[in-house]
Structure 1
């Protein structure tokens, strides 16, 4: 049998090299994205934990996201209950209350969570100082059920919709602590939990595919050589 013409290896070898270069490049891009994302998350952590400032008069949902603030006013009994759950607590409801500031503005405060059996319990109207973070959660997607308004059960913290229901500005403070403690309501402060950061997993996937591509290329070349070996 005739020996293998080296020129016949050029196409599969070139195809293999191009594929490996593309896959490794994608892995490197994800590593750069990982560095960028970790820097963003560090900034968010720092902003959440920063010393609070007085609630600004002019608030921008983009520029002021996660801003640590304090506010004083009347915690009303006007509430929305957002269904949630976790491994640690099971089923709970977040309590979103209308909050009347001393300057006359009406905003909302996420007071924290209550047990389902406390949903129907009355909470007193009280003057209070709230410390927390401004937040505009993005919790609603195509899989989120419609809110049960009759039962006051919401399935996402949709700031605009909640503000319309409570007749407030679309501003939400997620409480870290309050000057008046209600033992039935446990604050659930803002964290960066839930912000996706899967870039390392993506990078590992691309690098893994590059190794597989390399192995397949070498295997194919060896098979070609064995097939044409004299």
Structure 2
């Protein structure tokens, strides 16, 4: 029969490993609570009453609800995009001159492929939306195809340089005036990942597997005959 000493190393290893895996699972649950609270706060900020665009704007104001009135300039950037309901198309980023004389970027929303070349001359609009600094661009994002007039990500500084505006982007949620067939796509937290629950479940499953394998190994050792 095996000695107590021969059982001890795998038992200690199994207990320690299982404890570590369980602690990682509980850590992910704490992260889940933190992320859920953060998303709730972001949504509350998105839904807050709109205000005029501050004189000084910076990325810490991301999601701030604002209201602006003015005119589109007729200059625009088409960003390759798509929706579940309508399929592929483009986000229309227009130059926008506010009534108080500022030139900003306005993400008016979405058009399908069929409306890519539809003329959109200057139009007076009343817009309620949110300041935004999208993180669409990554190291693998292609450079804009300026010949075709198509961009592959919303890059605020580059778009502002292209349309000669401030590096300020308002994503429209509600538009009054001639929308010219552009459908607003409001800022939303739906695209913000919150996978901590699935990670927690994975760690707990690993812990259960480790505990089970440890119990099986101890059982085998105890039944081993020489």
2:132 corresponds to 1:149: no
2:209 corresponds to 1:215: no
Aligned ranges 1:76-225 → 2 under 5 Å: 76-225=73-222
Tell me the CA shift for residue 106 of structure 1. Answer: 0.9
Taking structure 2 as the reference length, the TM-score comes to 0.96
Taking structure 1 as the reference length, the TM-score comes to 0.95
- Cα separation, 2, equivalents of 1:223 and 1:146: 61
- Cα separation, 1, equivalents of 2:58 and 2:222: 66
Structure 2 SS opposite 1:83 = strand
2:39 corresponds to 1:41: yes
Tell me the CA shift for residue 142 of structure 1. Answer: 3.0
Tell me the CA shift for residue 183 of structure 1. Answer: 4.7
- Cα separation, 1, equivalents of 2:167 and 2:179: 25
Structure 1 SS opposite 2:177 = coil
Spell out, residue by residue over 1:105-135, the C-alpha distance to the aligned partner (whole angstroms, 9 max, x if none): 2110000111212111111212222110111
- Cα separation, 1, equivalents of 2:175 and 2:82: 23
Spell out, residue by residue over 1:109-166, the C-alpha distance to the aligned partner (whole angstroms, 9 max, x if none): 0001112121111112122221101111101123323221111111111111111111
2:15 corresponds to 1:17: yes
Structure 2 residues not aligned, in runs of 5+: none
Spell out, residue by residue over 1:43-69, the C-alpha distance to the aligned partner (whole angstroms, 9 max, x if none): 11111111111111111212x110110
Tell me the CA shift for residue 7 of structure 1. Answer: 1.2
- Cα separation, 2, equivalents of 1:228 and 1:21: 31
2:24 to 26, 31, 43: 26
The aligned length equals 226
